[in-house]
Every structure is written in structure tokens, then in C-alpha cells.
Structure 1
Amino acid sequence: MKRNIFFTVILLLVYLTGCQEPDELLPSISRAGINSIVATFPDGTGEFIGTVQEGSNEIIIPIPYFYPVSSDNRVTEEMISKMRVRANLDDNVTVNPPLLYMDLTKENVIFVKDQVGEIHEYIVRGEIRKSSECEIKEFKIPSLGLTGVINEATKTISLVAIGDLEPAIAEVTLSFHATISPDPREQALDYNNEVEFVVTAHDGVTQNVYTVKKEIPEKLPYGIRSGSAKLMFAKKLKADIGITVDHLTGGLAVAGDYIVLNTRGENSIYLDAKTGEKIGEIDLGSVKGNLTNFYNTADKAGNILICNLAPNDGAFKVWKLSDVSGSPELLIEWDGGVAVGRKISVQGDINGNAIITAPILSNGQQFARWTISDGNLSSQTPEIITMSGLAKGWTTNCDIVYTSGSDVNSDYFVASYSDNTFAWVDGTTNQVKQMLESISVNYIQNAVDFIEFNNAQYATVNWVNSFTWGAADMVWLLDVTTSSNFTGNLETGTCPAVVWETTRDTYGAKAVTPVVPNANGTGDVALKVSEDGFYLYLYFMFTNGYVVGYQFDCIDM
């Protein structure tokens, strides 16, 4: 009897609870739901971001007085009277009316329905603003052979010099449209004593005062200064640089004061290495061709190397240019009958000692190696090096760089796909001695560079997304002075050798509107040290995306 009563109670409880209405799942915090509105010109150029003004319902989109900001092309109200706009919304948030175009000279009313169903009214408008930037980007005195070391935190510029300095004219790079007083470009000044300069932004209000002094700043005893990473520029290949062809820009070379971009079948374009502004083009003459100028790189002295794709374009060839004003000269011609030329790397100086490497494609774990001693190429026919230690090797995606330009037994680094790992190879045995854990095989590693800086050694490697989905397009900078930290996984952030990295999807093809996927999965990286040894520069490029420059320093401050 008791057992029957027990089951009756249970069934009654199930019935009662089963008839209850389900609770409505709502977020614990009510949010307005709109994070920003992005505006572009009708042709897709520009990207101007407006956010909700604190304490108001206004979303003001600031638009530069000149566009591009480096030009003297003034933005008029007529130009912003029909702007493409899109909203950055939280999940389950809607905006009405739907956004497509706006006249940003007027107040535009929108209604945002947040996650809890509340409706918020916002007023969206544009505002053409003069720049408030007022920095000294670069300070040089060519006649004295001096380049100032800029400490932006203290607004001091150090001239590394001993002895008296003659009064001299300086070359100064300022924030765009800023002015400087007194102007050292017009007036020869005495720098034996401290000199103060007032830099005024284009808005006529914002100012910075810099002090130039003759001194030798202290360096850290080792490596880069933590937190010194500074974005110098990020330029869209198509909208900002003017490269109109998709998929074919695959090589990046650092040549002195310039960055040289190689686009197959086109003349190479060179940019200012500090600002990313396009300076000019290199006439490649007969070397220009879809399979002929397939890729480029540069040695530490700024000599540019261009290679073709073999055997598709016949024998493998490498041309050299001494600088951006030079003409291609044939350096290497090798009819090896193997697939080679998607990447080449050079360590050292081809006018002194250098090692040039070119992965052999779809042929196990082999690469071609040429050596140059005292400016002389040892042979047109390379040594074929067979390495071991990777599970799969590579097919079309691989890059290899040595750690020395003169010692063929020095270690080297390999970034490749399909293993999709970053490998450190013993240069004596050609056996992988250490490698990082594999990262997602949906994306590609295919570019690496190595450099020594301030008693430390650094390597950089990329990760390329060739799809319209997923998240990758990253670059890492690793301290590889010792192998003890060369462990873990780049993708999960567990590699202790990493000293800096980009955020995902910030500079790749997916970051550009409209998205043109990087179907060839190509990109490049390069490292360079300033002549005075105070700065390390990291440059990288994602095809159909951006070319980017970052600066690091070793100043003890």
C-alpha cells in the first residue's frame, strides 16, 4: 500500500512540473547592443569608425580632413553625403532601418533592438576633423651621418655622437600635416646643446615638445624592450597601395629605406619603410612575367633577389638588384629539372658571404643551397640538402632560412605545410632537433625569417588563411636565442618563445571589404635591424590583404 502511495505522489509531481511554461532565457545584463558603425566611401576605400558617445545617444563618425591622410586631397561634405555604412552589433541585436548608405552631413536616426527586446534610439552623423597627431617620426642629419633615436615616452631624441657637431640642416618626418618650430629642415642648428622643437598638429591645438640632445642612450643588456611594439603602418594592398590584381602579390623584400612588393607579371612597387607610402616602381624589363618575377626577397645589405618558377618557366633563375633604382642582373641559372621557386631565402650579404636556399617542391624534404664567399658564387649548381624529422614534409608551401650567412653547418628554420609546424633543424646533421606542436591544418605556414638583435636571436613565422571562413592570418615573433623555450603550440598560445604576435584576422584578406579570399594561400615576412642597432623592424604581408610594418626597440627607459 505504501509503495502505491509513493508512486502516485511521483506521478503527480511529474504532471505538475510538466505543465509549467519554460523559463525565458535572457541575458543577465541589458546592453544597448551596438558597438560601432563603420563608414567607407562608396568605392569601398577608407574605413572610419564611430562609437557611442559617453553620456549621449550620438554616434559620431570622425572622418579625416584629408584622404588619404598622407595627401592634400581635402574631404568635402559632398564626398560624405553618400557613405556606405555597416554596424558592429552584439548577437541577437537588430537595427532599423537596415543600414546601407547614409548622408553623414546630416543627423541619421536609427533604432537598435537589444537582446532583451528594448529599443534604443541613436543619432548617427559624420564629422570632418583635422588631425590631432603631432609626432616626430624620424629625425636625421645626413651631413653628419646621424639618425636620432626617438624616445616617444619622454619626447627626447638622442643623437649618438662624440665630439663637436657643426650646425646642420636636418631631415624630419612628422605626423601628416603637422608643423614644427623652429623648422630644422630650413635652418641649420647647433646640436651640441639641447634643442627644443614644438610640433603642432593640423588641428592647430594639439602640441608635443621634443628635446634633441647629443648623447648615447642606454641599451638593455638583452633583446627587445617589452611593450615597445609600435605599429608604423598597415596598408591595404589594393585600396592604399594601388595593386589592382588579386592573388599574385606574394613576395616582400626590405631594401634599405624601402619595402619592395613583388606582384607576378607587374613591375615591383617600393614603399617607404617607415610610413608604408608608395614611392615608385622598379622597371623589371624582360624579367617581368607571370612565372618570371614569381617571388622576391632581400639580403641584410638590401640587395634584392627575384626568382622565377621552375620548371614551368624553364631553368631556375635568380636575378639581383643592388637597390630600387637598379636593373635586374642574372645571378643564378640552374636547370635542375625539379619544381622550385615558390620561395627563396638569403642569409648574409651577397656582396660578401651569403647562403641562399630554395625548397624543392613535392620531393620529400629537400632544398637547394647556394653559397657565396667574398662576393663570389661557389657554383651555379647548388648542393641538394636532404633533411629529416618532419612526418610529411611539404608540397608547395615551404620556406627555409639559415641562421648564418657563412656557416653551412649552422642551424636553420623551416616553416612548412602539410605538417604545419615550425621546425628548428640541426645544420650539421640536417635532422629536426626541435619543433613546435602542429597547428590547424586548415591554414598554412609558408614564410620565415631570422635575425640577430641586441645579443638575442629572433625568428618570425606566418599563418595564412586561404578561405572565406575560419580565423588565422597571424604572424609571430619568437626569441630563439636558445632552444629551451622552443616548445608548445603557437595556435593555443603555449609557446614560451613567443615575444609578440598579431591578433587573428586583422591584416589578412578577410580584413578587407569586399573579401577576396587569398586563394593561393600566400604571404611573406621579413626582419631588419636599424643601422644604429636600436630598432628591430618586422614587416609582413598577406596576399589580398595588408602590408604591415612594426617597430621594436632595445632602449633602456
Structure 2
Amino acid sequence: MKKNILTIIAICCSVVFIMNGCQQVEDLTPSVSRDGINSLTASFYGDESSENSFTSEIDYERGIITIVFPYNYPRTSDNVLTMDDLKNVRIEANLDDNVTISPPLLYLDLTKENFITVTDQSKNKKEYKIIAEIRKSAEARITSFELRSLGISGIIDEELKTISLISLEDIGEALAEVNISHGATLDPDPRTVALNYDEEVSITVTAQNGVSKSVYKVQKDVPNKVDFGMRTGSAKVLWTKTIMADLGLSELHMTTGIAVTKDYVVVNTRNQPSKYLDRRTGAIVGTMPNMGSIVGSLTNFFATADDGDNILVCNLAPNAGTFKVWNIKGVNGTPELLIDWSGSGSTAIGRKLSVKGSIDGDAIITAAIMGADRTFARWQVIEGVLQSQTPEIVTINGIDGGWGNNADVVYTSATDLDADYFVSYYAPPRKFAWVNGSTNTVKALGPEINANWIQNAADYVVFNKCPYAASNSVNSFTWGSDDSIYLFDASGTSTFTTPVWQAPIGLYGGKDHGGVNANGTGDVILKVSDDGYYMYLYFMFTNGAIVCVQYDCLDI
């Protein structure tokens, strides 16, 4: 019985095996017919540039593959590509699976007609002719639009073909700086014709091929703002000027700070009258003509500016005697003594000076006292009157060591002596500090800065209802890389721990421009445009560069 059962099982297994073995082999041919060849790509031998890749257009019905080359190559150059340049071009094909080409592709002379045969998965064959065409660009775009003399950048809506100029005031006629598609032309050309932008302006862009066109409407606009603070991703470096090469200030270590007025960036250079730059473009405008009485490496030591176009210049005490601060009303003003702290004695002060408000109205002036005591001097101006030549000395709690020659203090209020303030310093805990003005105790700290780098500049402003504070870190060595700027959202202690923007390291410092910043000095200034739509961060590193960064709060 057992033998019969085993026999039956064996017979059943054999039947199953025979049935499976007779199944039809799976058909690997795609159920949907394709053309076999998808594209050809051409490139020049030995050219390592990223743009060395040229695509094709395939006319499957006529059996023609056209490889398209630009009229200019490199694409943004004036070099005109000719057919003679196409005698030895590398060709690569993108094929479907199990598709072959004969003869095989490698290099072709595209000045001649070339033929290939494509054999698909079903062994069907089709012949294609390969030709080359040098084609002028059909792109007709405006990629940037600026009225740089007015500090206005156009906001381009490519879909609607509109360019919005953000201004609350009349703009009038101005020349524009415009970037367009390579080889395209403009009519009218706002780069050479001053147009009146208080009225809507239409500009026609004609592509390099002379056929494709786009019409942009340029209009003054007042857009909505984002709810709070800056628009994410709006940071843009407007200009950079190197102190030695661009500004011609070749003597090392003499450029210590900047003072930013409504229209100018004043570059404080200790042993000569200050040069001033156009705040919007960075172009050199002139040299302050009436500074002669205070020019000197120790008298004209540092400068800052208030909100009323007053430029405050201080000496270095006690090296140059008692501590003094002069006021210069605008770049053409004459120095007038504002502060003479006759009792300053041996107090080391004057490496940094900050002011919040305007000395024509209300202001708080601060200067860090150098050394080990973590103190600063504070003066108050009420309704244009300095309250005392002798400052109040304030001691900060929560900073563990003396900051030596490196510290800066800036208030958040022009009127309230109990208001909070910010301190940038070189001492443990080596973190940008937000200080409670009522208790003079640190209430929040930014990230730790390596002890190799020096912090010694601070500023504060409110932009679109959000408070912002900025600080620096400086490399004073012949080695290493630092020289950065940090912008913080100071709307709460939790947002203060990490910067919302940081300047790239290794681009702007003294060591990066051939003049090691041995004193570790620098400066940082925040300003808000009169219309409230833009915030500007100005910073400098001694022997390095002066930079302007723009942020906006546009709801776009």
C-alpha cells in the first residue's frame, strides 16, 4: 500500500513538471512601441567646461536628427561658432534597452551628412540622417533691472512680464543697469536712455535670432510686506570695495571703522581725512574737506554716525590725552567738540563708539572701557542737549573675564537708560551678549566664537517690527580663516541663539586681501531705508573689504 501511494505522488509531480515546462517563454518586447533612439548629445574633445554639451532634435517621421549648437560659444562670449569648428565632434546616443546603432558612434564630422541605422528590440531597422545646425538664441528675457543711482532694484515677475520698482517717492528719469539674454537687444534701451519711471514703461526684448520677442512693463509699485521681519532668502550683497586696492588706502591698520549716514558710507582712516562712498553703489564720492583740525592717528581714531547725519569721531585715550568726541554735521561739516571727559585720566577708551538715536534730539552714546573690568561709559542726550560731560560707568554681570582692547556696546533705545543693550567682546564666554538694561545682567547669548577669533563690533535696529542685532568675528593671524559677520533675530531669547545670516568666511578679511589684520579690528552697521522696505548691513574688516548687504520684507 505504501508503495502504491509513493507511485501516485511521483506521477502527480511529473504531470505538474510537464505542464510547467510547456509554458510559453515571457515576451520581453515592450507592449508599447517606442522609437528606439531618444536623443544624441554632442561635445567638443578636451573642453572641460560645464556648458560643453549640445542637445538634438529628432524628426522621427522624416528620419532626421539635428544637433543644435549655439551661435556663440562659450555661450556668453562674442566668439562666433562656425561649421569648421564641427569637423571632429564626440557623439553619444541615448537608446532604449536592446536597441543598437550601426555604424557605432564616437566622433563625427558634422560638416558632412552622416547616416546611422537604428535596430530596435523587434529587429526593425530605420535609417536616420544626422545634421548640425548653428542657431542663434531664441531667449528674450530681462534677468535683472536696477536703478543703482537711486538704490532701487526691480522685482521681476517672469510669468507676467512685469518689473516692479519699489518706491514710496517719485522716481523720475534715471538710467538703469539691466542684464538680458545673451545677444538680445532692448527697445528703448534704458541703459542709454533715461526713462521716466513715475509712469509705466514698456520695454521690448528681441532675442539674438531677431524673431523671438518679449515685452516687459516696468512700473512703480508699493507691495505688501511680509508679516514680520525680513523675507526669507532676500539677502543680497549689493557691493564690495577692498580698502587697499579699490579705495587706495594702502597704509595698513589705519582704517578702523565706518560711519553710515543717509547717503554715504564714511571710511574712517586715522591719519588722513575720511573718504566717503555712495551708500547705494560703493562708488567713491569724495573726501571730507574740513577734518584737518582732528586728523591724526590717535585723534581721528574711530567714527560712527547717528540717525540725523551727524558723524561722531573720537580719539584714543589716554594715548591722545583726555577722551574727546567731535561732531561733524554731514560730510561737509566742520568738527565741533561734543564731549570732553576731563576726568577720564588713565582710562583706556576710544577704540569703539556707538550711538542710538540722534544727538539733534534724543540719543544714548556708549564707549567700551578697555581692560579687565567689563565696563562701559554712557552719555545721554535729551532734546539736543548733552546731559553731562562726565559719563555714567556701567558694569556688566555675566561676562567672565576682561575683554582687553576689544568690545562694543549698543543700546536698543535712544531714550531709556534701562533698555536692553547688546555687547560684542573678546572674553569668556566668547558669545555675543544680550544684556538686561535694568539689571545689567546677560539675559541671552549667541553661539560661541572660537578663542582664536576676536569679536569687537555690534549694532541693533528694528526692521518691519522685528529687532535685529549684528556682531563680528575677526582673524588677526597670518594663518587660519575667519572674518565673518553674524545677523541675529532679537525678537526673543530663543531666536537669538543662532544667526539668521552669516557672511561667508574667507572672502572679506585683511588676510584675504594681502594685509593681515594684526589688531583684529572691524565694524558693523545696520540701517533701515526710509520707506521701511529694506534693511542694509554694512561691515568692514581692517586691511580687508567694506561690504553692503541688502535684505527686504517684500511679500513676493
Same fold per TM (> 0.5)?
yes
Residue 254 of structure 1: which of 235, 260, 276 is its match? 260
Query: Which SS does the other structure have where 1:286 is aligned?
Result: helix
User: 1:394: how far off?
Assistant: 1.2
Matched, 1:150 2:154: yes
Contact 1:135 1:208 in 2 (8 A): no
Contact 1:169 1:185 in 2 (8 A): no
Contact 1:241 1:277 in 2 (8 A): no
Contact 1:171 1:184 in 2 (8 A): no
1:397-421 deviation per Cα after TM superposition (whole angstroms, max 9, x unaligned): 0000001111111000000012222
Q: 1:176 to 1:427 in 2, by over 3 A?
A: same
Matched, 1:460 2:470: yes
User: 1:437: how far off?
Assistant: 4.6
User: 1:191: how far off?
Assistant: 3.4
Structure-to-structure mapping, 1:334-345, within 5 angstroms: 334-335=341-342, 336-337=344-345, 338-345=347-354
Letter in 2 for 1:508: G
Contact 1:448 1:460 in 2 (8 A): yes
Q: What residue number does 2:49 align with?
A: 53
- Identity among equivalent positions (%) equals 44
User: 1:294: how far off?
Assistant: 0.2
Q: What residue number does 2:459 align with?
A: 449
Q: 1:543 to 1:153 in 2, by over 3 A?
A: farther
Matched, 1:533 2:539: no
Q: 1:303 to 1:383 in 2, by over 3 A?
A: same
Letter in 2 for 1:311: P
Q: What residue number does 1:291 align with?
A: 298
**Aligned partners of 1:280, 1:176: CA distance in 2, in Å?**
29
Structure-to-structure mapping, 1:26-105, within 5 angstroms: 52-54=48-50
Residue 371 of structure 2: which of 348, 362, 370 is its match? 362
Matched, 1:279 2:285: yes
**Aligned partners of 1:476, 1:297: CA distance in 2, in Å?**
19
Query: What TM-score results when the alignment is normalised by the length of structure 1?
Result: 0.68
Query: What TM-score results when the alignment is normalised by the length of structure 2?
Result: 0.68
Q: What residue number does 1:545 align with?
A: 544
**Aligned partners of 2:492, 2:515: CA distance in 1, in Å?**
40
User: 1:180: how far off?
Assistant: 8.0
1:420-448 deviation per Cα after TM superposition (whole angstroms, max 9, x unaligned): 22111110111112223532111100001
Q: 1:387 to 1:171 in 2, by over 3 A?
A: same
Matched, 1:171 2:174: yes
Q: What residue number does 1:384 align with?
A: 393
Q: What residue number does 1:121 align with?
A: none
**Aligned partners of 1:534, 1:503: CA distance in 2, in Å?**
24
Query: Which SS does the other structure have where 1:436 is aligned?
Result: strand
Matched, 1:230 2:236: yes
User: 1:474: how far off?
Assistant: 0.6
Q: What residue number does 1:300 align with?
A: 307
Residue 424 of structure 1: which of 434, 438, 450 is its match? 434
Q: What residue number does 1:490 align with?
A: none
Q: What residue number does 1:96 align with?
A: none
Query: Which SS does the other structure have where 1:265 is aligned?
Result: coil
Contact 1:139 1:171 in 2 (8 A): no
Contact 2:145 2:179 in 1 (8 A): no
Letter in 2 for 1:413: F
1:341-360 deviation per Cα after TM superposition (whole angstroms, max 9, x unaligned): 00010011111111000011
More moved, 422-431 vs 179-188: 179-188
Letter in 1 for 2:502: E
Q: What residue number does 2:496 align with?
A: 486
**Aligned partners of 1:200, 1:242: CA distance in 2, in Å?**
41
Structure with higher Rg: it is 2
1:275-322 deviation per Cα after TM superposition (whole angstroms, max 9, x unaligned): 211111113111100101000111123321111001110111111122
Q: 1:52 to 1:275 in 2, by over 3 A?
A: farther
**Aligned partners of 2:534, 2:214: CA distance in 1, in Å?**
23
Query: Which SS does the other structure have where 2:404 is aligned?
Result: strand
Q: 1:329 to 1:55 in 2, by over 3 A?
A: closer
1:238-294 deviation per Cα after TM superposition (whole angstroms, max 9, x unaligned): 111111111111111111121111111111011111221111111311110010100
More moved, 324-333 vs 448-457: 324-333
Residue 309 of structure 1: which of 304, 307, 316 is its match? 316
Contact 1:473 1:505 in 2 (8 A): yes
**Aligned partners of 1:414, 1:240: CA distance in 2, in Å?**
31
Structure-to-structure mapping, 1:389-400, within 5 angstroms: 389-400=398-409
**Aligned partners of 2:431, 2:319: CA distance in 1, in Å?**
28
Residue 328 of structure 2: which of 321, 326, 331 is its match? 321
Q: What residue number does 2:361 align with?
A: 352
Contact 2:197 2:218 in 1 (8 A): no
Aligned residue pair count: 416
Q: What residue number does 2:337 align with?
A: 330
Query: Which SS does the other structure have where 2:293 is aligned?
Result: helix
1:352-407 deviation per Cα after TM superposition (whole angstroms, max 9, x unaligned): 11100001111401111011111111111111112211100311000000011111
Q: What residue number does 2:225 align with?
A: 219
Query: Which SS does the other structure have where 2:511 is aligned?
Result: helix
Q: What residue number does 2:6 align with?
A: none
**Aligned partners of 1:61, 1:181: CA distance in 2, in Å?**
28
Contact 2:456 2:472 in 1 (8 A): yes
**Aligned partners of 2:206, 2:271: CA distance in 1, in Å?**
44
**Aligned partners of 1:64, 1:346: CA distance in 2, in Å?**
50
The CA RMSD over aligned residues, in Å, is 3.4
1:173-228 deviation per Cα after TM superposition (whole angstroms, max 9, x unaligned): 52699998365997674835x22246999xx9999975332442111010101111
User: 1:546: how far off?
Assistant: 0.8
Letter in 1 for 2:488: L
User: 1:61: how far off?
Assistant: 11
Q: 1:52 to 1:364 in 2, by over 3 A?
A: farther
Q: 1:172 to 1:417 in 2, by over 3 A?
A: same
Residue 247 of structure 2: which of 241, 256, 266 is its match? 241
Query: Which SS does the other structure have where 2:448 is aligned?
Result: coil
